[in-house]
A = this chain, B = another copy of it.
Amino acid sequence: MLDDRKLAILRAIVTDYVSSQEPVGSRALVDRHNLGVSPATVRNDMAVLEDEGYITQPHTSAGRIPTDKGYRLFVDRLAAVKPLSVAERRAIQTFMAGALDVDDVVRRTVRLLAQITQQVAIVQYPVLSSATVRLIELLVLTPGRGLVILVNSTGRVDQRPVDLLGATDEQVADLRGRLNAAVVGLTPSAAVERLSTLLDDLPPELHPVASMVTATVMELTTADPATRVVVGGVPNLTRFGDQFETTVKPVLEALEEQVVLLRLLGEAGGTGDVTVRIGHENPYEPLQSTSVVASAYGHADDLWASMGIVGPTRMDYPSTMASVRAVARYVGRFLAEG
């Protein structure tokens, strides 16, 4: 159905449209790319491509622009891998050098991604499934109100307030000792398992407060860390100040909702390589005129979390994908080395 020349024409339309932001006609196409055929032939091919749904024209006497389906074919089969520029490589190094802790790494990563892709960047906090519990601290703040602090072997610290149900200081100290003895050194999943059996070994008077505390610890070891997402590069949205309603507004709204962001990244970053969601492929309705380029990051088989960018469907996919891939790999390695 689609011979090589038609594919070449589609590729040319995508690249030209992305760089010029304007519908591209048959004449301009043969001028800029040496296709070796006349505009009339190109027109015939374009008619076929339009029938097949790869391109469309905004109005009768305008050039063609790619459809979501066209971008999809381009990304899957036509895009040449574009190597990073030297400047971009250097940017990655300088941005990350001197990062202090995980927070800092995430902040720098989001800035970096936003800068080299010139899009809005989204980075999920790393969830280190191989990290182990380093310390559980249990504190009394005021009578009845306490605080659980969980530290894992990567230096990540999470805390949550807890109702101590009037336990005495001695009981709290006792419980702290038992908790640490039970789970320090375990992975989160192992710790959760161990905690669910811990209650049986406790003296009865500790049961009420212990169940409150273990429940909180279990929350901390599982759900919470994954729900943190950082965004950056929002001013990049101003670069396409047209399409206010279709692009800028929905993106801004999505950025306020952690849940939405996690869905965008989560479904996109499941596999090992860069994932692209184009327009309507997007799981979140209002973002159907934008694309998401995302990648999981981590080390070896240990995929920790996702990062990505969101931008207009008319973006430079090869460059963007290369950038996201490079940053994801670099940050993964950086975190693995500590």
**Residues of A in contact with B (beta carbons under 8 Å apart):** 100-101, 134-135, 137, 139, 141-142, 145, 147, 149, 151, 153-155, 157, 159-161, 232-235, 237-238, 241, 244, 248-249, 252-253, 255-256, 338
Contacts and interface: CB of A to CB of B under 8 A. Distances in A.
7 contacts: A101-B159, A101-B161, A135-B137, A137-B137, A137-B151, A147-B151, A232-B256
A159 B157 contact: yes
Given A137-B137, A234-B234, 4 more contacts: A142-B338, A147-B157, A149-B151, A155-B161
Residue of A151, A155, A255 with highest tally of chain B CB at under 10 A? A155
Contact of A145 (B157, B238, B338): B338
A186 to B, nearest CB: 16
A252 to B, nearest CB: 4
Nearest to A151: B139
Nearest to A156: B159
B135 A100 contact: no
A76 B252 CA distance: 34
Contacts of A153: 141
Given A100-B161, A157-B147, A134 B139 contact: yes
A255 B234 contact: yes
A29 to B, nearest CB: 32
Contacts of A248: 238
Nearest to A103: B159
Contacts of A137: 135, 137, 149, 151
B241 A256 contact: no
Given A101-B161, A145-B338, A241 B238 contact: no
B238 A252 contact: yes
A153 B232 CA distance: 33
A117 to B, nearest CB: 15
A135 B147 CA distance: 11
Query: Which 7 residue pairs spanning A and B have beta carbons closest together?
Result: A235-B252, A238-B249, A157-B159, A235-B253, A241-B244, A101-B161, A147-B155
Contacts of A157: 147, 149, 157, 159
B235 A249 contact: yes
Given A151-B139, A155-B147, A256 B238 contact: no
Contacts of A155: 141, 145, 147, 159, 161
Contacts of A244: 238, 241
Given A100-B161, A237-B252, A252-B238, A141 B134 contact: yes
Contacts of A241: 244
Contacts of A100: 160-161
A182 B232 CA distance: 41
A124 B238 CA distance: 26
A76 to B, nearest CB: 33
A234 B255 CA distance: 9
A16 to B, nearest CB: 27
A285 to B, nearest CB: 15
A249 B236 CA distance: 9
